[in-house]
Amino acid sequence: MTVDVTVVGGGISGLACARAVQDAGRSVRVLDRGRRVGGRLASRTIDGRAVDLGASYFVVGEAERFGHLVADWEERGLARPWTDTFAVIDADGGQTPKPGPMRWAAPLGSRSLTLDLAEGLDVVSEHVVERVEPYRVDGRDAGEVVLAMPAPQAARLTGEAPGGAQDWEPVIAVMLRWDDRQWDADLHGAFADGDADVSFLADDGDRRGDGAPVLVVHTTADRARRHLDDPDAAIAPVVAATRRLLRIDADPVAARAHRWTFARPVEATGEPFFRSPGLSACGDAWGESAAVRTAWSSGDALGRALAAS
């Protein structure tokens, strides 16, 4: 059955787009290559516990429609205010508080937010798309086609990324677990200032609210580029940097690495989405700055535009 809109990509942007289309009374289908939706809002069950290996947090800011969604998530226990203060850690391990906007997190793992958005949608998982063109996916009629993915991935399906080429940086996220907490109780998350290996560290137990002695550490783009073919090779330098930055005496008892080849756009486009007849695009690169709220807002705005056209 041909639908009005086919969304390729089941991350938060693609799901927001599909949700807006369906809420407007149009038919929509989401095709995603993963076993479950989520994209870079990824939670992976490790040692019986969900660990957030994708986006570290989200901020509402002035995104009013996204704010209404977050308020609903909070009311239903899917989202919680986490912290408005991170630390900046220098090369010697010295820490300086860095106040900012309220950062939000998901007690059940960030994937739970995308699963909530996908509820009631026609989602086809483990579906690998080979070729996309206006109004067609893999040679079949697909209605309006939306690419909700990083531009380099979109270019593989179309020959040229909708809206033009965009540069993206890689990240390797490393989960580190100790038997007991080894860092200061008031360290929610921290930016590593100028470190060659680590860019950000998050206390996943504090973020999730269960107190687990787990850190999720994001590498720098340079460190990630060295290990895209073998992400586990990034674990040793990340452990060494984390122990040095947080002045931890013991090695973790468990460690896992996850590769994000296209983790974040180097620069956002400034436009809310890309729209052309039969083939459009949305995501966190479309907007003023790359962020979870940008991804949702981009998909939501495109979905409403498609439904109205």
144 and 193 co-located in one domain: no
Domain end residue (candidates: 234, 249, 266): 266
179 and 281 co-located in one domain: no
35 and 180 co-located in one domain: no
Give dist(CA 204, CA 49) in Å, integer: 11
Task: Inform me whether the pLDDT recorded for 166 exceeds 90.
Answer: no
Check residue 305 and give its pLDDT: 97
pLDDT per residue as tens digits for the range 8-20? 999 999 999 999 9
Give dist(CA 220, CA 39) in Å, integer: 20
Check residue 185 and give its pLDDT: 87
Q: What is the CATH number of the domain that holds 181?
A: 3.90.660.10
258 and 182 co-located in one domain: yes
Question: Domain residues for 304?
Answer: 1-43+110-166+271-309
51 lies in some domain: no
Check residue 204 and give its pLDDT: 97
5 and 122 co-located in one domain: yes
Q: What is the CATH number of the domain that holds 145?
A: 3.50.50.60
Check residue 53 and give its pLDDT: 95
307 and 210 co-located in one domain: no
Crossing angle between the packed helical segments 12-23 and 292-308, to the nearest 10 degrees: 30
226 and 180 co-located in one domain: yes
49 lies in some domain: no
pLDDT per residue as tens digits for the range 38-68? 999 988 888 889 999 999 999 998 889 999 9
- Number of other residues whose CB lies within 10 A of the CB of residue 301: 20
Question: Number of folded domains in the chain?
Answer: 2
Task: Inform me whether the pLDDT recorded for 1 exceeds 80.
Answer: no
285-307 mean pLDDT: 96
Asked whether the beta carbons of 303 and 17 are under 8 A apart, the reply is: yes
Percent of the chain predicted with pLDDT > 70: 100
87 and 179 co-located in one domain: yes
48 lies in some domain: no
117 lies in some domain: yes
50 lies in some domain: no
pLDDT per residue as tens digits for the range 185-199? 889 999 999 999 999
260 and 294 co-located in one domain: no
259 and 123 co-located in one domain: no
Cβ neighbours of residue 279 closer than 8 Å, sequence gap 6 or more:
132, 133, 134, 135, 144, 145, 147, 158, 162
204 lies in some domain: yes
Provide the mean pLDDT of the chain: 95
The residue whose two tokens read 């005496």 is 249
134 and 15 co-located in one domain: yes
Give dist(CA 158, CA 131) in Å, integer: 6
9 lies in some domain: yes
277 lies in some domain: yes
207-215 mean pLDDT: 96
197 and 251 co-located in one domain: yes
Task: Inform me whether the pLDDT recorded for 222 exceeds 80.
Answer: yes
pLDDT band at residue 163, thresholds of 50, 70 and 90?
A: confident
Check residue 190 and give its pLDDT: 97
